[in-house]
Amino acid sequence: MGSQQYGLPAMVGVADGPAHASSKAIPLAVYVFAGCAALNSVCLGFDVGINSAVGPSLKEDLSLNDVELEIFIGSLDFFSIFGAMFASTISDRLGRRKAFAVAAIAFEVGVVGLVTSTSYNWLMLGRGFLGFGVGFGLAADPVYIAEIAPPKRRGELVTWSELGINVGILLGFIVGYCFADLPAGMAWRAMFGVGMLLPIVMLALVKFVMPESPRWLILKGRYDEAADVIRLVNHPGVSVQQVMDEIRLGIAAEFAVTAKVSWRTVLCPSPAVKRMLVVAVGVGVSQQLSGIDPVLYFLVFVLREAGIRDTSSQFGFMILLGCLKLLMIPIAGRLFDKYGRRPLMLASCVSMIAALLLMSVSFFAGGIPALALTALIGYMCAFSVGMGPGAWLIPSEVLATSIRAKGMTLVTIANRVTATILASSVLSLANLLSWGGFFLFLALLVFLITIFIYTTLPETKGRSLEELTEYFCQITEDKAEFLSEFANQPAELASESFDFEICEDQSPNAAPSPARVRVKSPTAASFPAQAVVFGKSELELAEQEQQSRA
């Protein structure tokens, strides 16, 4: 155990690494590990894509009525809520690699349950496991990639998770096409059955390829292992010790920012926090109210009612839509950065309204396939370049640092609940309103969303998180102390250098208490006491104390 003095810039952010590391070439291992994590997203996307294919054969084979089918398909979103709720706790306790394993096992159990189902109840049980895996996996990928990637490539590599989902959706469409001509009793089982392969591959990658996140290893006091991973994912010239120190400082800074904020702050918000949550949760709900999940889940039914009866033509068009959706992802990123969030969200909504009205016209006119296909392409592209990615980007920008984690939890739950309600009522609404009326109903919802975005959403492009927090405080005349205290703290921390006494024991099994980071700058007075003490058991006790206060 040794003691050293360092004068290091404080890095704010859980996964932040050293800025100097970004100037070097990125090792191939980083891309390999990010690709492995993205395969988990492919599993998620496959389950969404295959939903569009299994509906007709599943309904015929098990003699399901419309309500049973729509509840089965929509329940994936509902069960995913529970996976998302437990993801953070399990990931922090067991590690990021084991979190991937838990998601893969849930996928595998769910798929086996579906393939062997002979009754509706057994089918829903398998759906429950599958939905849990989907929700769990949604939270695992971005965290792992962010913690394994050097800062220069972090933004690019985290988008691989979204790419993986869309690759999975496309793969689900392709698998549906391959088995569409089988007898009904075999078709849906074969389609779901292919989904057993991806979790097995994922488990093999977790076991033999993927390392643990260095941040998690440092949190658990396993410094030798963390150093090995840091060497693996950084250029040889990077100082491993400095990377480790900066990861610690990032964790300390983030804990300092969030330590005073309980769930009461979010559920009984001040005016500024309430306005932030209205924007964040409103945008998250709007994504699902635009109808994307119902359209994707019941695409075969939509195409059939639009006049496209040939199975090969249906799946061929679905594959085309999957390719277009995949291509829109990199385009969306560039458009958001070039034109801003607010203009692109409004343009996305207006374009979706036009496409949905065209869909409605095609159905009311007795089915005009060319018009319906054109409208579906326009709708999917409009969603993918605006509302799709914006629903997650904007909440992460408008929520203050101190409430972001809890706020994003609310956004995710609201998004999934809305998706469940809408996806579980598609066929009932179509029977009640007709398919033309259903798409007219969606157009009305998107019109209301457009009004909401126009009246509440500020432009976030080029504005720091601190500036946005100040903006919400000003427009609501809110002087909440915790917001004003922490709004500028990250900038202050990032711009100053402090002295740290770092006492280390390099043994992975060493007692946790000697490992600590103590801030000696006068600014340390603004940190809660727990935030400047680092040791495995000490940090866990601090977190428990924080939870008990909540």
- Pairing between strand 2-9 and 497-504? antiparallel
Cβ atoms of 96 and 143 within 8 Å: the answer is yes
- Position 5 scores a pLDDT of 27
User: What CATH class has 25-238?
Assistant: mainly alpha
Worst-scoring range by mean pLDDT, 129-138, 198-207, 251-260? 251-260
* Residue 470, C-beta contacts closer than 8 angstroms, at least 6 positions apart: 487
Q: Give the pLDDT confidence of 463-480 residue by residue, as tens digits.
A: 776 777 888 888 887 766
Beta-ladder partners of 391 = none
Residue 537 has pLDDT above 50, yes or no: no
- Give 24's pLDDT tier (boundaries 50, 70, 90): low
Confidence check: pLDDT of 19 > 50: no
The lowest-confidence range among 5-14, 261-270, 290-299, 478-487 is 5-14
Give yes or no for residue 430 having a pLDDT over 90: yes
Q: What's the Cα-to-Cα distance from 349 to each of 267, 276, 323, 454, rounded to whole Å?
A: 29, 21, 21, 10
Looking at 259-310, list the stretches that DSSP marks H as alpha helix, in order from N- to C-terminal side: 263-267, 271-289, 292-297, 299-305
Is the pLDDT assigned to residue 41 strictly greater than 70?
yes
SS3 of 10, please? coil
Is the pLDDT at 263 greater than 50? The verdict is: yes
Looking at the predicted structure, is the pLDDT value of residue 232 above 50?
A: yes
Lowest mean pLDDT among 4-8, 133-137, 152-156: 4-8
Residue 266, token pair as written in the block: 């979010």
For residue 415, pLDDT over 50 is answered with yes
Strand-pairing partners, residue 517, are: 502
pLDDT reported for residue 329: 81
The confidence score (pLDDT) of residue 516 equals 41
pLDDT at 469: 80
State the pLDDT at residue 21.
42
Mean pLDDT across 274-289: 92
Q: What is the mean pLDDT of residues 156-172?
A: 86
- What is the per-residue pLDDT for 542? 45
Model pLDDT, residue 547: 52
- In this predicted structure, the answer to whether residue 435 has a pLDDT above a threshold of 80 is yes
Distance CA(256)–CA(489), nearest Å, equals 9
For residues 420 and 460, which has the higher predicted lDDT (pLDDT)? Answer: 420
DSSP 8-state secondary structure symbol assigned to residue 503: E
CA distances from 380 to 160, 322, 374, 386 (A): 20, 9, 10, 10
Average pLDDT over residues 140-158: 79
For residue 10, pLDDT beyond 60: no
Supply the pLDDT for residue 355. 97
Domain locations in the chain as residue ranges = 2-18+242-259+479-549, 25-238, 262-449
Identical topology for domains 25-238 and 262-449: yes
Residue 420 has pLDDT above 60, yes or no: yes
**DSSP β-ladder status, 516-519 and 2-9:** unpaired
Across the range 469-494, mean pLDDT stands at 62
Contact 95, 219 (CB under 8 A): no
Amino acid code (one letter) for 521: S
* Axis-axis angle for helices 341-364, 426-456 (nearest 10): 150
Q: CATH says 262-449 is which class?
A: mainly alpha
Instruction: From 280, 281, 309, 289, select the one nearest 356 (Cα to Cα).
Output: 289
* Inter-residue contact 296 to 77 (CB < 8 Å): no
Return mean pLDDT, the chain.
80
Residue 531's pLDDT band (cuts 50, 70, 90)? very low
Give the long-range contacts of residues 370-377, CB within 8 A, separation 24 or more.
372/302, 372/303, 372/306, 372/307, 372/308, 373/306, 373/308, 373/317, 376/295, 376/302, 376/317, 376/321, 377/320, 377/321, 377/324
Give the pLDDT confidence score for residue 412 in this predicted structure: 83
Q: Higher model confidence: residue 147 or residue 348?
A: 348
Average pLDDT over residues 481-508: 43
pLDDT tens for residues 74-109?
899 899 989 888 887 888 889 999 999 999 999 999
Tell me whether strands 497-504 and 516-519 are parallel, antiparallel or unpaired.
antiparallel
Query: Residues 357, 378: contact at Cβ < 8 Å?
Result: no
Arithmetic mean of pLDDT, 58-81 = 91
Q: Which two tokens stand for residue 343?
A: 């203009």
pLDDT given for residue 252 in this prediction? 78
pLDDT (mean) for 47-55: 89
What's the mean pLDDT in 228-249?
Answer: 87
Q: What is the mean pLDDT of residues 256-265?
A: 71
Q: How is the beta sheet containing 2-9 ordered, strand by strand?
A: 2-9, 497-504, 516-519
Q: Quick one: pLDDT at residue 513?
A: 37
pLDDT digits (tens, 9 = 90+) for 315-353: 999 999 999 988 888 888 788 878 888 999 999 999 999
Amino acid identity of residue 460, one-letter, is T
Is the predicted pLDDT of residue 486 greater than 80, yes or no? Answer: no
Please give the biggest Cα pair distance in the chain. 80
Give the residue, 361 or 262, on which the prediction is more confident. Answer: 361
Residue 155's pLDDT band, with cuts at 50, 70 and 90, is low
Please tell me the distance from the alpha carbon of residue 231 to that of residue 504, in angstroms, as a whole number. Answer: 18
State yes or no: pLDDT of 292 exceeds 50. yes
Q: Which of 403, 412, 422 is nearest to 483 (CA)?
A: 403
Q: Tell me the DSSP string of 368-412.
A: -HHHHHHHHHHHHHHIIIIIHHHHHHHHHHHS-GGGHHHHHHHHH
pLDDT at 403: 78
Task: Name the percent of the chain lying above pLDDT 70.
Answer: 81
496, 10 contact by CB (below 8 A)? yes
- CB distance 458 to 342 below 8 Å: yes
